[in-house]
Structure 1
Amino acid sequence: MEHMKSYQKESAFQADRRKATTEFIKIVSDLWYDKAIEVVLFKNQIIDKNVSDIIHLHEYAGEFVQKPISIFDSLEILRTVNDLRLPPSRLDIGKLTYEYHSDGNNFNDVKAFVVDKLKGANKSTHVGPKDVVLYGFERIGRLLARELLVQVAKDAQLRLRAVVIRERLNAETLEKKANLLSMDRVHGRFMGTLDIDPENNLLIINGTPVHFIQADKPEDIDYTQYGISDALVIDNAVAFRCQHELDRHLKSKGAGKVLLTAPGREVPNIVHGVNHQDYDSDYTHIYSASSCTINAITPILKVMEDSLGIKKGHLEIIRTYTHDQDMMDDPYENYGFGKITAPDITLVKTCAGRNAAKILPSLKGKLTANAIHVPAPSGSLAVLNLEVKNRTSLDGINTIVKKYALEGDLVEQIKYSLSKEMVCSDTVGTSASTIYDSNATIVSKNGKNIVLYIWYNNECGYIHQVIRLSKHIAKVKRYTYY
């Protein structure tokens, strides 16, 4: 009988929890689509998530902050947020819930607490959307298109208007581009609507018309013909790398800024969260978002440099094979790349140490690096073997990284993983550029030598960084509460 009562009590609780989660999901959607208020849970995106996803994220959040984070509590706070007249913003409901129930909280009334915490929102200035052009429609470009069009709400920040390709533009080309956009073998199907308008060279994506423009030279394009002005051109074709070449984009009519999705030469290389404040977009017109690897390792390198000081280090980058590796043995400038990709682990040269120092100049000359390409389609691992100036411990390092993952300028970049079984495919879908493996860290007895394991998704983690940097360049970033 006692077992039956216990079962019934647990069943009733689970039903109530799922019902609360359903209401939570509805409010999250209403805030996003009606008010352009994006709600996240400890930086995890929760728009269009199902009930099980939301419950799982609450359990992760509770384990992360070592304090229960209940769906009932976060729902109560979310209801209050929904009742307030807030401008377009990005709010972390996990952080708000944690702070409301943390020790020393002086608020007994939820509304008073939320109003006090979000009082800075009404001081933020509203900025209209920025037109975006994708120059090239490679894999990164297609994933950017997906994310930009998923993020469309009542008040968009970045508005994808056009894609530039070099191929001959006709119905067949548009159909091929649509097929590549709709299904990615790693990231799955694009869960949106997609129609082709070959007469007007358009793809209609989630109801949004996107012009396709054929051009061999960027300076020949007149974007204003398509109603596009002062656009941010995101060059993902990577045909140009240096300032002189990238400057050709600015000769296009209707282009305002340029962002390269690869390391650039003679232009600012930026990792959002690390050095994006070093350049003012009023005066800087061409940027590089560096590489996926640099966006993964520099947030943690900055944390270690600021907290412990880095004397020297070696970076071992274990990453997925790239599109320019051969499927069969063939001559290649880089000897390893000439060997068949599928069954091989390949040791190749990398500029990761030098490129990291472009972002963090204090590390110049302190880092060596190698890269090992492995036969996996997505998800990579960086092993940072560092000698630090200040003595530390395993608990000390984990405490430091957790603090940066909870608050400060790197909360969007660093995800603190509690998993004991991380594998590269676990990184798929993660918006953070850096996934810190807290269970893998090694510290020497003297506390001066540390080994850190940093997972990252070289595609979706990177494109979220590109979008963050794009919003900064375009000056359309909204009020954020993290």
Structure 2
Amino acid sequence: MPPSWIDIGRLSSEWITEKEDYKNSASDFLKDKLKDLLAVDHDYLKPKDVALFGFGRVGRLIAREIIAQAGKGQQLRLRAIITRSNSDKDIIKRAELLRVDSVHGFFPGTVIEDLENKALIVNGHTIKMLVADKPGHIDLEAHGIKDALLIDNTGIVRKREELSWHLNAKGVSKVLLTAPGKDDVPNIVHGVNHEEFDRDKENIYSAASCTTNAIVPILHVIENTLGIESGHIETIHAYTNDQNLLDNYHKKYRRGRSAALNMVITETGAAKACVKAIPSLEGKLTANAVRVPTPNGSLAILSLKVKKDTSKEAINDIIKHAALNGDLVEQIQYSYSNETVSSDIVGNTCASIFDGPSTIVSNTGKDIILYVWYDNEYGYSCQVVRLAKHISDVVRLKYY
């Protein structure tokens, strides 16, 4: 069998209910269930080189995830990290930030500085540490990197024209932005709308934002089952590097106040970004955010008016089904616990952790409140990697 992801739990459940149809032959059962996977050639994956443009918090977590999934190098291969400086001192500092993280702990592997060759050797893989002060000002081909996917983690440029500057760099064939894209840049939430774009024609993509990736899977499910009349989204969001540690000037209101000492009301573009992924929600949603004094782990509160009468049990069953079946099993996790708090979801690979016990439905049966946890750093980074694999056509075969 070629490299594949197989849900053993699903197979086991199906075997229990269907084994008599196969006359209790496990061999016949597996051959039938996995026939589509067995028919594919073993060498169906062509690896894709990746270059990270920027190496901040999300950039380092994306690097961790790509390296963790490197395997035999048949999917994404991290070949370069591009920053504004690659002095020996800077390389050593960046290596240390990759090795250990105050929130996500130690990197489970080895990180060795190769200062002579301006590189890091991570789990035996050489990653070049390159320099560029602007998009497009780099020659990846000079380092043996061709047809690469460049992941821009800086968020400095977000318009198609600006992002297209990256394509002027030798060795870059596609660009993925880890922030909401502007104008006509496709904003994609993997699992919801990633199949709507032609990989052969589009070469610039946005992975939207962490909040958008958290709420869109849930909104998608509710829209398709109950229908959404209107709603408001409030995100209780961990503070980020965009805020000040202590009071100081900031161009945005309130964000200049100490992030570690205050709850800070601020804006979010999540409502607009949702519409790019789910066009039927145009004009139906509002959104705002409150930044709180925790370094990671956030909560989205979805207050929705739905078209069909429902109940707490019905909604929870709908989300449970989506979490276990269909296209969103990687994006949604259903939480049964009455004790879940924000630190519990740090390191969770899912974009949305649905808090089932907290679901509220009014007496009208149409006004509902849903609580969705998300690791705004790691959960989002996993979504970026999933989208990067899709764009690069290196997704393993799946049965789950």
- Do they fold alike, i.e. is TM over 0.5? yes
Question: In structure 1, what is the equivalent of residue 8 of structure 2?
Answer: 93
Correspondence 1:37-436 to 2 at 5 A: 86-102=1-17, 106-107=21-22, 108-124=24-40, 126-167=44-85, 169-266=86-183, 267-436=185-354
Match for 1:101: what amino acid? I
**Shift of residue 331, structure 1, vs aligned partner:** 2.7
Q: Say if 1:441 and 1:453, in contact at 8 Å, map to a contact too.
A: yes
- Report the Cα distance in structure 2 between the residues aligned to 1:118 and 1:415, rounded to whole angstroms: 25
Shift of residue 217 of structure 1?
Answer: 2.4
The code of the aligned residue for 1:254 comes to: G
CA distance in 1, matches of 2:32, 2:95: 47
Give 1:133 deviation, angstroms.
Answer: 0.4
State the partner residue of 1:25.
Answer: none
Query: Is contact 2:19-2:25 (8 Å) kept?
Result: no
Residues 88 and 155 in structure 1, CA contact (< 8 A), matched pair in contact too: no
What amino acid does structure 2 have at the position aligned with 1:292?
Answer: C
* C-alpha deviation, 1:368, in angstroms: 0.8
**Counterpart-to-counterpart distance in 1, 2:94 and 2:285:** 41
1:110 maps to a residue whose letter is A
CA deviations on 1:296-321 (whole Å, 9 max, x unpaired) are 00000000000000000010100100
* Percentage of identical aligned residues: 51
SS of the residue corresponding to residue 395 of structure 1 reads helix
The alignment's TM-score, normalised by the length of structure 1, stands at 0.80
Alpha-carbon distance in structure 2 between the residues aligned to 1:92 and 1:104: 17
Root-mean-square deviation (CA, aligned residues, Å) is: 1.2
Structure 2 gaps of 5+ residues are: none
- In the TM superposition, what is the alpha-carbon distance from 1:172 to its structure 2 partner? 1.2
Q: Could you list the per-position Cα deviations for residues 439-468 of structure 1 after superposition, in whole angstroms to 9, with x for gaps in the alignment?
A: 110111221111000000001110111011
- Contact kept? 1:260, 1:288, Cα under 8 Å: yes
TM-superposed deviation, 1:103: 6.5
Residues 36-68 of structure 1 show CA distances to partners (whole Å, capped at 9, x for unaligned) of xxxxxxxxxxxxxxxxxxxxxxxxxxxxxxxxx
User: Aligned pair 1:454/2:400, yes or no?
Assistant: no
Which structure's relative contact order is higher, taking Cα pairs within 8 Å and 6+ residues apart? 2
Distance 1:131 1:105 in 2: 47
Check whether the contact 1:88–1:478 (CA below 8 A) recurs between aligned residues: yes
Q: Distance in 1 between matches of 2:399 and 2:18?
A: 20
Letter in 2 for 1:425: S
Larger radius of gyration: 1
**In 2: Cα distance, 1:200 partner to 1:134 partner:** 18
Once the two structures are TM-superposed, the CA of residue 363 in structure 1 deviates from its matched residue by: 0.5
The answer to whether the 8 A contact 1:405-1:411 is kept is yes
Instruction: State the alpha-carbon separation in 1 of the partners of residues 153 and 339 from structure 2.
Output: 33
> How far apart in 1 are the matches of 2:61 and 2:268?
25
Aligned mates of 1:288, 1:90 — CA distance in 2: 26
Partner of 1:479: 397
Between stretches 402-411 and 130-139, larger displacement belongs to 402-411
Partner deviation per Cα, 1:140-161 (whole Å, 9 max, x = no partner): 1111111111111125300000
Q: Aligned partners of 1:89 and 1:471: how far apart in 2?
A: 14
TM-score, scaled to structure 2: 0.97
Give distance in 2, aligned partners of 1:428 and 1:97: 30
